[in-house]
């Protein structure tokens, strides 16, 4: 059963039982210096034939490049700079690559829940991210064409029509290539180290499609992934990793106590999520699919101070690392886990009115009532994010042509059984949660009704930037022309609000109080290696 709580500043101060602190916050805590994260900083190297990565040493240092020769010997080369490109290696004979896609999801969280359902049927699985998150029948188990087809047929006989077999015929294979001293090397696995544990990387940013240059701590390695191309992995100590996360996630102008709260959450998030890219043999990515990580190029003194002050501290619940989800802007109320993703509820991720004042009572005015919701969205005072975020309240319009194109692209991308729609006839919110998030959006098209659930609504349409919105139909001469999306928040809205934490910190709240507000019932404690589920 979902729990909904309302906070006021006075209630928060006296409710010490909501939050436990095992380790005094101002006492020295030993960080787990030997704990290293494996972060994929370039995830699809070789997806395009003209991909390049330039790696160079910092001043007064050298790169040491290590790889295995064709004879199985380890070879080491030292240089100041190397440019990795993609070469094509022709195969002696065409190779048939097959995999069974059991489900296709927009987020890791929902993919993980789907994976558990397939496992309960006795199927061994792996979670991957070729583009969207997918659950595959484990390739090392379902190795033969006969076994793969038997599994597909068996599932269809049981009524499971979603899984499908994806087949590709490969005539050549991409391979990382580089030239040193006039000699070209083609190697699948490459390790790059430096004496100073600092290295420059220049690579294309997939969002901006521009080449960006960042300095990373730790070491690098190029290795194959599950999609026929390669990943550049940064092996970096946890506390060094945080120096490349905190300034980018919370922003350089955040108050110190907000930065401390963000640091504890970022550390917890990273260590709980080391399983995300197990199929690709690394742990985390460097994008918003995990946490934004850009190495040591943008470090700032206030973030370093926050990292030092919270060294080794994590957030737990019942002696486990919490699912430390957070977003830019909640829109005035945080969302329970199951309002956004499929999976077990997290008791510490509740619907919390994002204000230190009594601006709304969720228990008596639940937001699954459409009139209550519209009144809530009309409120623009008293919330933590009002003066901080441009996304606290928003109104975005989209005409039917744009909405139809968005939906067509989504249906094609997700391999939906209905893909040939020509027009949208109607959109209707059919189920909303008590926190106000849309759980089901029904879209009537010329080809039938398509139901979109939870976070998939944001994946399907470009207009809404959260699921905290209502629809207002637009008409011209009594003909439907599109919809206004009127809502609040940016992102999923679960857990800590980054902009909300600014306000609370400026009110004098400590990092402990901020985290207690957004994650009731949790505990701050010193990192114990047994907490990390690798």
pLDDT, tens digit (0-9, with 9 covering 90-100), for 518-532:
999 999 999 987 787
The predicted pLDDT at position 434 comes to: 97
**Which residues make Cβ contacts (< 8 Å) with residue 66, sequence separation at least 6?**
74, 75, 76, 190, 191, 192, 193
Distance of alpha carbon 346 from alpha carbon 327, whole angstroms = 16
Distance of alpha carbon 321 from alpha carbon 249, whole angstroms = 20
Distance of alpha carbon 47 from alpha carbon 44, whole angstroms = 6
Strand duo 198-204 + 53-57: pairing: antiparallel
Strand duo 284-285 + 313-317: pairing: unpaired
E strands present in 181-293: 183-186, 190-194, 198-204, 211-217, 219-224, 230-237, 284-285
Tokens of 434: 């008590």
Distance of alpha carbon 381 from alpha carbon 355, whole angstroms = 10
Which of these, 446, 396, 400, lies nearest to 421 by C-alpha position? 446
Please state at what angle helix 301-309 crosses helix 256-272, rounded to 10 degrees: 60
- Per-residue model confidence as pLDDT tens digits over 315-353: 999 999 999 999 999 999 999 999 999 999 999 999 999
Distance of alpha carbon 79 from alpha carbon 91, whole angstroms = 31
Greater model confidence, 418 or 519: 519
Q: What is the mean pLDDT of the chain?
A: 92
The predicted pLDDT at position 105 comes to: 95
The predicted pLDDT at position 533 comes to: 62
pTM, 2 dp: 0.91
- Per-residue model confidence as pLDDT tens digits over 51-72: 999 999 999 999 999 999 877 8
Position 124 pLDDT exceeds 70: yes
Please state at what angle helix 511-518 crosses helix 498-506, rounded to 10 degrees: 140
The predicted pLDDT at position 388 comes to: 86
The predicted pLDDT at position 6 comes to: 35
Distance of alpha carbon 193 from alpha carbon 65, whole angstroms = 7
The predicted pLDDT at position 310 comes to: 97
The predicted pLDDT at position 19 comes to: 39
Whole-number CA gyration radius for the chain: 25
Structural contact between residues 199 and 57, judged by C-beta atoms closer than 8 angstroms: yes
Position 27 pLDDT exceeds 60: no
Under DSSP, the state recorded for 463 is: S
Distance of alpha carbon 26 from alpha carbon 510, whole angstroms = 11
Distance of alpha carbon 17 from alpha carbon 27, whole angstroms = 21
Confidence of residue 265 (pLDDT cuts 50, 70, 90): very high
Task: Give 243-246 contacts, CB < 8 A, sequence gap 24+.
Answer: 243/217, 243/296, 243/299, 243/303, 243/304, 243/307, 244/214, 244/216, 244/217, 244/293, 244/294, 244/295, 244/296, 244/297, 244/298, 244/299, 245/270, 245/291, 245/292, 245/293, 246/303, 246/306, 246/307
Task: Give 408-415 contacts, CB < 8 A, sequence gap 24+.
Answer: 410/459, 410/460, 410/461, 411/450, 413/131, 413/132, 414/104, 414/132, 415/104, 415/164
- Going along the chain from its start, the domains and CATH numbers come out as 4-26+312-390+491-531 (no CATH), 89-172 (3.30.70), 394-487 (no CATH)
Average pLDDT over residues 69-80: 89
The predicted pLDDT at position 260 comes to: 98
- For a pLDDT cut of 90, what percent of the chain falls above it? 86
The predicted pLDDT at position 69 comes to: 82
Distance of alpha carbon 44 from alpha carbon 207, whole angstroms = 13
Position 366 pLDDT exceeds 60: yes
Position 474 pLDDT exceeds 70: yes
The predicted pLDDT at position 73 comes to: 87
What are the residues facing 432 on neighbouring strands? 438
Which of these, 183, 192, 202, 180, lies nearest to 62 by C-alpha position? 192
- CA 345: distance to chain centroid? 18
Distance of alpha carbon 196 from alpha carbon 231, whole angstroms = 23
Structural contact between residues 177 and 193, judged by C-beta atoms closer than 8 angstroms: no
Strand duo 424-432 + 394-399: pairing: unpaired
Greater model confidence, 10 or 288: 288
Confidence of residue 204 (pLDDT cuts 50, 70, 90): confident
Distance of alpha carbon 102 from alpha carbon 123, whole angstroms = 10
Average pLDDT over residues 99-112: 96
């Amino acid at each position: 059963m979902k729990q909904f709580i309302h906070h006021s500043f006075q209630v928060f101060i006296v409710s010490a039982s909501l939050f436990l602190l095992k380790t005094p916050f101002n006492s020295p805590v030993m960080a787990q210096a030997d704990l290293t994260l494996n972060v994929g900083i370039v995830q699809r190297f070789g997806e395009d034939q003209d991909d390049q990565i330039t790696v160079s040493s910092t001043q007064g240092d050298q790169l040491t490049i290590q790889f295995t020769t064709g004879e199985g010997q380890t070879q080491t080369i030292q240089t100041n700079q190397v440019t990795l490109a993609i070469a094509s290696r022709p195969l002696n004979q065409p190779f048939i690559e097959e995999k069974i896609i059991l489900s296709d999801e927009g987020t890791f969280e929902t993919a993980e829940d789907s994976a558990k359902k397939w496992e309960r049927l006795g199927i061994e699985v792996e979670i991957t991210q070729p583009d969207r998150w997918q659950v595959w029948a484990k390739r090392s188990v379902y190795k033969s064409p006969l076994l793969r087809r038997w599994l597909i047929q068996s599932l269809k006989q049981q009524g499971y029509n979603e899984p499908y077999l994806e087949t590709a015929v490969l005539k050549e294979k991409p391979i990382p290539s580089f030239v040193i001293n006039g000699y070209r090397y083609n190697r699948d696995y490459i390790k790059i180290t430096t004496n100073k544990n600092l290295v420059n990387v220049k690579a294309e940013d997939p969002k901006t499609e521009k080449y960006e240059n960042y300095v990373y701590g730790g070491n690098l390695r190029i290795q194959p992934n599950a999609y026929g191309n390669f990943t550049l992995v940064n092996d970096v100590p946890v506390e060094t990793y945080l120096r490349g996360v905190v300034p980018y996630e919370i922003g350089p102008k955040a108050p110190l106590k907000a930065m401390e709260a963000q640091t504890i959450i970022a550390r917890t998030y990273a260590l709980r999520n080391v399983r995300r890219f197990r199929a690709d043999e690394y742990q985390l990515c460097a994008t918003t699919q995990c946490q934004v990580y850009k190495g040591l190029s943008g470090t700032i003194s206030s973030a370093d101070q926050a990292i030092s002050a919270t060294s080794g501290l994590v957030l737990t619940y019942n002696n486990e690392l919490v699912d430390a989800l957070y977003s830019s802007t909640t829109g005035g109320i945080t969302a329970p886990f199951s309002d956004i993703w499929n999976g077990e509820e997290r008791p510490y991720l509740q619907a919390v009115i994002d204000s230190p004042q009594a601006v709304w009572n969720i228990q008596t005015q639940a937001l699954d009532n459409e009139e209550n919701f519209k009144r809530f969205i009309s409120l623009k005072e008293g919330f933590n994010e009002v003066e901080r975020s441009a996304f606290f309240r928003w109104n975005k319009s989209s005409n039917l042509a744009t909405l139809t194109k968005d939906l067509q692209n989504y249906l094609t991308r997700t391999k939906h059984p209905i893909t040939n729609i020509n027009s949208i006839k109607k959109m209707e919110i059919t189920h909303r949660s008590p926190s106000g998030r849309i759980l089901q959006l029904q879209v009537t098209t010329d080809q039938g009704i398509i139901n979109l659930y939870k976070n998939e609504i944001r994946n399907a349409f470009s207009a809404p930037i959260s699921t905290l919105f209502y629809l207002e139909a637009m008409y011209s001469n009594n003909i439907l022309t599109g919809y206004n999306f009127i809502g609040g928040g940016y992102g999923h809205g679960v857990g800590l609000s980054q902009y909300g934490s600014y306000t609370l910190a400026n009110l004098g709240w400590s990092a402990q109080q901020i985290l207690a507000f957004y994650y009731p019932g949790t505990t701050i404690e010193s990192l114990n290696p047994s907490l990390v589920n690798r």
